[in-house]
Structure 1
Amino acid sequence: MRESVLSNKEEYLNSLFANESENKKLSRQFAEELGLARISVSAPEAKLISLLVKLHGCRKFVEIGTLTGLSAQYIFESLPDGGELWTLEKDPAHGEKSAAVFANLDQSPKKIHLVMGDAREELEKLSALGPFDGVFIDGNKAAYMDYLLWAEKNVRRGGLILADNVFLSGSVWGDRSAQKFSDKQVRILQEVNQRLADPNLYEGVIVPTFEGLYVAIKK
């Protein structure tokens, strides 16, 4: 019964928010071709991220983990004129697909920068362009703490921190049946969640999406 309820809930939410642009559909098509459609952000989750970025008034934003450019499009369209998004991707196949998608965007009022390479290395280079107004963490799960510590140094006070997949399919609270994650990944996500829950560092909450989205404001 619960699985049926969850399935119906997902279908209902998608019926409300899945009316996406052709370019967003292209991102989803590319993810499907790469066999990665299951890890693409859902339309309701993407709309939530977009709304949070817009409400927070972010102008300079960093995304860690581009995949095929779907979430980047949602973030990009929420930036005001003059805004800039830097989106980081390591996999060349993902980068090729994202570049094709981004080429279709009007970048005259604002800019999107596809940064290829290991995120930990590229983030250090981006530090010179900070401080940033926010960051969306959605890359290598084993590196989430590294990404968060970078954000603490390079996102302004009062900036927006978003981290996706913080449930690890339930692994963070001990359910290891749904999907296999390494002990290291589980430990790091537990530590990241604990750090984001520290009221001395952040004001935030986990939005209980299917995979868990941490929303936090840096103090």
Structure 2
Amino acid sequence: MREIVLSDREKYLGSLLGEENETKKMSRQFADELGLGRISVSAPEARLVQTLVRMHGCKKFVEIGTLTGLSAQYICEGLVEGGELWTLEKEAKHADMAKQVFAKMNMGSKKIHMVVGDARVELERIASEGPFDGVFIDGNKAAYLDYLMWAEKNLRSGGLVLADNVFLSGAVWGDTSLQRFSEKQARVMQEFNQRLADTSLYTSSLIPTFEGLFVAIKK
């Protein structure tokens, strides 16, 4: 497992938020084993997502990009009683790890539906379960605009859109020093951000987390 060196800021945030439970630690361990621990959502950002889901009173929610099930746990905890989460993951190995985590969770009256496959295909298959109260977009960056178009058709009026990594490590404003993304990825994300910022379509705000978190309410 990688050695994690926390900054004083991260240590302080951790002291306020408390230690993650065993299933969340399990998700992080699995991500580390895959060599993908660096892309797991941070605890402060995950708690923010959870809080927004709870504040919005979401009952039926969709997550695009499960990885090993960490953010899904936070979302599930934020849902109202009887809530359901459909979480989509393309990689079967990642999904299998997430399923192991979900099997150990105490969800009470809530449910998590693990959906494996290309999100652009699987989203159409679950559309009949809608309309949904919200969506968390954290999958294939080149497909963000496709995901948003689906959300606009399948979220209820007033539905919540949360989107992570919208800065693309600075690529959306031309900085490629941190991580290189393709021109297509940068262009798609720029268009995605511009659409969520359109006040005729959404009431929105861009939270300047390290990677950028867009929060929008569909009009």
Q: Which amino acid aligns with 2:165?
A: N
Q: Which ranges in structure 1 are unaligned for 5 or more consecutive residues? A: 1-5
Query: Helix, strand or coil for the counterpart of 1:139?
Result: coil
- What is the match of residue 110 of structure 1? 110
Other structure's SS at 1:61 match: strand
| Residue 19 of structure 2 corresponds to residue 36 of structure 1 | no
Cα distance in 1 for partners of 2:183, 2:11 equals 33
Match of 2:55 in 1: 55
The equivalent of 2:21 in structure 1 is 21
**Cα offset for 1:18?**
5.1
Q: SS of 1:133's equivalent?
A: strand
Does 2:192 correspond to 1:192? Answer: yes
Give the secondary-structure state (helix, strand or coil) at the position aligned to 2:217: strand
1:69-218 pair list within 5 angstroms: 69-218=69-218
Match of 1:68, SS state, is coil
Q: CA deviation at 1:122?
A: 0.3
Alignment partner, residue 3 of structure 1: none
Retained in 2: the 8 A contact 1:158–1:218? yes
Secondary structure of the 1:57 match is coil
Question: Which deviations, in whole Å up to 9, do the C-alpha atoms of 1:99-133 show, x marking residues without a partner?
Answer: 00000123441111000010000000111111000
Q: TM-score, normalised by structure 2?
A: 0.95
Q: Work out whether residues 131 and 156 of structure 1, in 8 Å CA contact, stay in contact via their aligned partners in 2.
A: yes
Runs of at least 5 residues in structure 2 that lack an aligned partner in the other structure: 1-5
Structure 2 CA distance for aligned equivalents of residues 191 and 8 of structure 1? 36
CA shift for structure 1 position 210: 0.4
* Farther off after superposition, 169-178 or 11-20: 11-20
Give the match's secondary structure for 2:181.
coil
Equivalents in 2 of 1:21, 1:107: separation in Å? Answer: 14
Contact 1:204 1:215 survives alignment (8 Å): yes
Matching residue's letter, 2:109 = P
TM-score scaled by length of structure 1: 0.95
**Counterpart contact for 1:18–1:43, Cα < 8 Å:** no
Partner of 2:134: helix, strand, or coil?
strand
Counterpart-to-counterpart distance in 1, 2:18 and 2:106: 22
**Counterpart in the other structure of 1:65:** 65
Whole-Å Cα distance in 2 between the matches of residues 32 and 15 of structure 1?
23
Distance in 1, Cα, partners of 2:156 & 2:133: 6
SS at match of 2:35: coil
The percentage of counterpart residues that share the same residue type is: 68
Task: Quote how far apart the aligned CAs of 1:16 are.
Answer: 2.5
How far off its partner does 1:12 sit? 2.5
| Alpha-carbon spacing, 1:112–1:192, altered in 2? closer, same or farther (3 Å) | same
Q: Considering only aligned residues, what root-mean-square deviation do their CA atoms show, in Å?
A: 1.2
Q: Secondary structure at the match of 1:25?
A: helix
Displacement of 1:165 in angstroms is: 0.1
Matched, 1:45 2:45: yes
Q: Is the 8 A contact 1:18 1:44 kept in 2?
A: no
